[in-house]
Each structure stands twice: as C-alpha cells, then as structure tokens.
Amino acid sequence: MSDDLFRDYDHAGFYDEAFASDGQLRPHYRALADRMRTLTPTDLTEREALRDAIFREQGITFTVYDDEKALERTFPMDLIPRIIPADEWAELEAGLIQRVTALNRFLEDLYVGERAAIHDGIVPRWLLATAEGFVREAFGVPVPHEARCLVAGIDLIRDADGTPRVLEDNLRNPSGISYVLENRVAMTRVLPVAFNQHRVRPVDHYGSLLLDALRNVAPPAAGENPCVVVLTPGVFNSAYFEHAFLARQMGVELVEGRDLVVDEHVVYMRTTRGLARVDVIYRRIDDDFLDPVVFNPDSTLGVPGLVAAARAGNVTITNAMGNGVADDKAVYAFVPDLIRYYLGEEPIIANVDTYLLWDDDQRAMVLDRLGELVVKPVAGAGGYGMLMGPTASDEEIADFARQIEEDPRGFIAQEVVQLSRQPTLVGDELVGRHLDLRPFVITGETMEVIPGGLTRVALREGSLIVNSSQGGGSKDTWVLEDDGRDSGEEA
C-alpha cells in the first residue's frame, strides 16, 4: 500500500477519466485526490464496511431465493466517484435531449403518424418490420405529447480519444435509477467531507420528475388528479426492488397484473373499497406479457383487455408499446440519420461505427476483418452472445462467420471500442477499471436529464463487461455545478 493512493496509479495508455495521458490528474479530480490522500488504509476499510452496512440495512440487494434461505447480494458501489465537470455534462445533456427527442418523433411517426421516415427513405420498412421489438399491436395506440420514451436510458461510453459515443439505446424498461439514488445517499454518508468539497448537482428529485411526467401523459379525460400506478411482474422479478422503490418515491400504488381489471375498455384496480379507475400505468413488464388477449396468451402477469383500453385512449401505458423497435442494434445504426431527418441537426453525440451485414460490401469487409471487430446479435442484451474478435478463437470466428452468412439481418459488427477507465478501489489499491454511463432522460412537459446517471464499472481486470450479472459494480456519478478547474488549488 502506497501512502499516496494516486501516485502509483497506472493508466496503462487507456483514456482515463481521472488522469490525462501525461499522468497528471485532471483538474476536476484534484480535490477528491487531495481528500482521499488523507485517509489511511484503515479509514478506507472502515468506510467500505459502513457502505456495505448501509446497503444491507436498506435491503438494496439482489435476492436469490431457494427453499431453505434467501441469498442476498449487493450491487457493489466503488468508493471512488466518477466526476463530470459542468461543461462536459452540458454537452452530453444537449446530445441526450436531442437523441431522445428524435427517437420520440420517430416512434410517434411509425406507430401513430404517417410513417414519413419510411416514405422518405430514411430507414427501410423491411428493417423495422423484422425488428424483434417492433409491435404491430402498438399501431394507433396514443401517447399524449409524443412522450413514447417517457424514461429512456442511453448507454454512453468514451472511445480511445475520449470522445463520448452512444453504445445503445434502452427505450423499453431501462432499469438502474434506484441505484443512482441509493448510491448518492450512501456516498454522502460514507465520504461526507469529500462530497461537501464539491458542488455536486442533486439527483433526489427523480421521483417527483417522474410522477410529473406520468401525470403529464394521462388521457385528457382523466381530469385534474389522474391515478398513476407502477405495474410490476411481482416479487420474484430481479428488479422488484426498483419497482417498489419507485412506487414509494412517487407515493403511488405498486400493482401486479392481477390487481387490475378491464371493464368496457376502462382499467380499474381492485381496492378494499371496490374498483378504482386507473389513468396511467408505468409498466415495468415487457410488451409480450402486457395483455394475454393480444400477446402471449399464457402470460399471467398482464391484464386481459389492457391494450384495447389503451387504444381507446382510456389509459396510457408507458413506456409505450413497441419502443423496442429502436433498441434493435441495426435500427440503432440509423439514429444519426433520424436526428438529421426530424430535427435538421447534426448529432451531438456520435454512434459507435457500425456495419450492416445485409449490405454485400460491408459484409465482405466485416468477414475479412472478423478478428478485429465486435459482432453483436441485434436483439441481444446484457453482453451475451457477442463475438469479441481480438480475443476469440479461430473456431468462434468461423462459427460467427457462418451465422452471419445465414442471417445477415441478425447481427451487426462494430469497431472495438476501448471503454475509458477510472481509478477504482480494489483491496487497498487504486487500479484502472473500464466503465460506461447510463443517463436517464425523462420526457415530461420539458425534457429532463438527471445529472449523471448510473456509472457501471467492470470490476474484473481488463474486462469490458459492466453488467451486474457479470461482475459489474457501480460508482456514484457527480456532475459538478462548475467546471471543477479551480477546485484543486484551494485544498
């Protein structure tokens, strides 16, 4: 253990959030480093113990049940926060708002509009019709104010030059906001002095922003005081904690499908005083399970007649059905064009360079360079089913080549992006670990981005996979009120 946590840190040539390429701390990390230097290894151990106690006490855990006992695991939060200066955030925020605005327009155009983007040749009809998240039943189902992506989670990374890029869009049921809020609570208790030395923009107004946005999409007939509920698959869902958390934050009922009933195209919840009308459903269950009448007939999670009630305009289901069409990784490749088409602007945040494999030239090039590229299934999530060219065996490469030839629509290829790294506490040492960022964008009366978002960090050395199911952790994300350029000098 060094007496200076930061002195022996090796950025190893990666783009590092805290260190410039010459090995100097970036200005907005100096105050944090100065504070951390005053903590002994014992202090750090104590603070980690305090952090663990906070998360356990509050039950912020993934729970795995079996017959005998409940196994509870926490989603580990690293003690070293990620810091984003105000000017950098302003740019990201503008880019996120631009992107989600265009995506809302696109989904509105596709499902209830004239499908202008198709007619004008921006994105091919066949591509949308073959996307897994495309939902025919969503045609004609209204959402007031074009707020089809009421909550969007846009995954951002930084490439080797430090340029932010969008890795993927999550427009269905992005999760993780509960960790953002709980990380902040824990951080202000574990490192109160360091936190106070920065002017960090708050995140705890998320619940009220979300509730306002949900009330904003109530059907016009709902009146002054619309009834909003959160719809969960139930206690056995791994994200149940978040569903309950959001219902509590907003002070609304957390319902399961069986608590709702549809009569004459109106949705009611079953209360101790009879049936009570529901106007807005923030659903955290997938499209396929919403309504056994139109989707999976075996699903017991949903509500028979729900889709017809939404089509009749008596209830708003949000996020809207069918948003998944834009989560398709091949459709993702068209988002920059959609921004240009709908908004007449250049995209502020670029995509990762993506190759479409039904195009003969691009496919030939990709097959030629498979050993250097990343190949992903278009409907994949969680980092599963990918080919990492540089580390793959010859058999794996040959296998993917065959799969691509068989189903060129089913995959995309991208240049390998080395995610940026950041100092992370492992044992009592600071080591570089790769990370990404999922900011949350809410479409309300105005569009709002919660400052920061969920920073996910790959805790395993060298890993680029940040998902919680595969050894990922998180960091509190501090968006500063200022550019943080001077904060180092005072200390």
Tell me which of 70, 221, 360, 489 binds other proteins, using CB under 8 A. 70
> Position of tokens 């396929």?
288
268, 256 Cβ separation under 8 angstroms: no
Taking the alpha carbons of 440, 445, 447, 452 in that order, is the dihedral positive or negative?
Answer: negative
Q: Which two tokens stand for residue 330?
A: 């091949």
Closest distance between other proteins and the C-beta of residue 210, in Å?
16
**Between 246 and 450, whose beta carbon lies closer to other proteins?**
246
**Between 253 and 396, whose beta carbon lies closer to other proteins?**
253
Helix (H) or strand (E) holding 158: strand 151-158
Closest distance between other proteins and the C-beta of residue 3, in Å?
40
Closest distance between other proteins and the C-beta of residue 263, in Å?
12
Footprint of other proteins on 364-423 (CB under 8 A): none
C-alpha closest to that of 472 among 459, 486, 485: 459
Closest distance between other proteins and the C-beta of residue 298, in Å?
17
**The one segment of 115-123, 242-250, 358-366, 370-378 that binds other proteins by CB under 8 A:** 242-250
Closest distance between other proteins and the C-beta of residue 273, in Å?
7
Tell me which of 34, 52, 212, 259 binds other proteins, using CB under 8 A. 259
Tell me which of 107, 131, 254, 465 binds other proteins, using CB under 8 A. 254
Closest distance between other proteins and the C-beta of residue 256, in Å?
8
- Give the x/- contact pattern for other proteins in 273-312, rule: CB under 8 A: xxx-------------------------------------
Integer Cα distance of 192 and 208 in angstroms: 25
Question: How many other C-beta atoms are found inside a 10 Å radius of the C-beta of residue 35?
Answer: 17
Which amino acid, 433? R
**The one segment of 120-128, 150-158, 246-254, 360-368 that binds other proteins by CB under 8 A:** 246-254
Q: Which residues pair with 72 in a beta bridge?
A: 63
Pairing of strands 472-479, 454-458: antiparallel
Taking CB under 8 A as the rule, does residue 270 contact other proteins?
A: yes
Taking CB under 8 A as the rule, does residue 50 contact other proteins?
A: no
Closest distance between other proteins and the C-beta of residue 8, in Å?
41
Taking CB under 8 A as the rule, does residue 69 contact other proteins?
A: yes
Cα separation values, 72 from 59, 200, 357, Å? 9, 31, 42
**Between 255 and 338, whose beta carbon lies closer to other proteins?**
255
Closest distance between other proteins and the C-beta of residue 244, in Å?
4
Footprint of other proteins on 147-206 (CB under 8 A): none
Integer Cα distance of 391 and 398 in angstroms: 13
Closest distance between other proteins and the C-beta of residue 71, in Å?
11
Buried b (16+ CB within 10 A) or exposed e, 71-92: eeebbbbbbbbbbbbbebbeeb
Integer Cα distance of 120 and 107 in angstroms: 15
**Between 243 and 363, whose beta carbon lies closer to other proteins?**
243
**The one segment of 55-63, 172-180, 290-298, 342-350 that binds other proteins by CB under 8 A:** 55-63
**The one segment of 98-106, 169-177, 255-263, 362-370 that binds other proteins by CB under 8 A:** 255-263
Tell me which of 44, 244, 348, 365 binds other proteins, using CB under 8 A. 244
Closest distance between other proteins and the C-beta of residue 191, in Å?
24
Taking CB under 8 A as the rule, does residue 253 contact other proteins?
A: yes
Show the beta-strand stretches assigned E in 296-344. Answer: 316-318
Integer Cα distance of 72 and 331 in angstroms: 38
Reading phi first (left if > 0) and then psi (alpha if -120 to 50, else beta), residue 158 is in beta
Taking CB under 8 A as the rule, does residue 49 contact other proteins?
A: no
Work out the angle between the directed axes of helices 177-190 and 206-216 (0-180°, nearest 10): 160
Pairing of strands 447-449, 440-443: antiparallel
Integer Cα distance of 423 and 432 in angstroms: 5
Taking CB under 8 A as the rule, does residue 248 contact other proteins?
A: yes
Residues whose CB falls within 8 Å of the CB of residue 308, separated by 6 or more in sequence, listed in order: 262, 265, 291, 293, 294
DSSP one-letter code for 200: B
The residues binding other proteins (CB under 8 A) are 57-59, 68-70, 235, 244, 247-248, 253-256, 258-259, 269-275
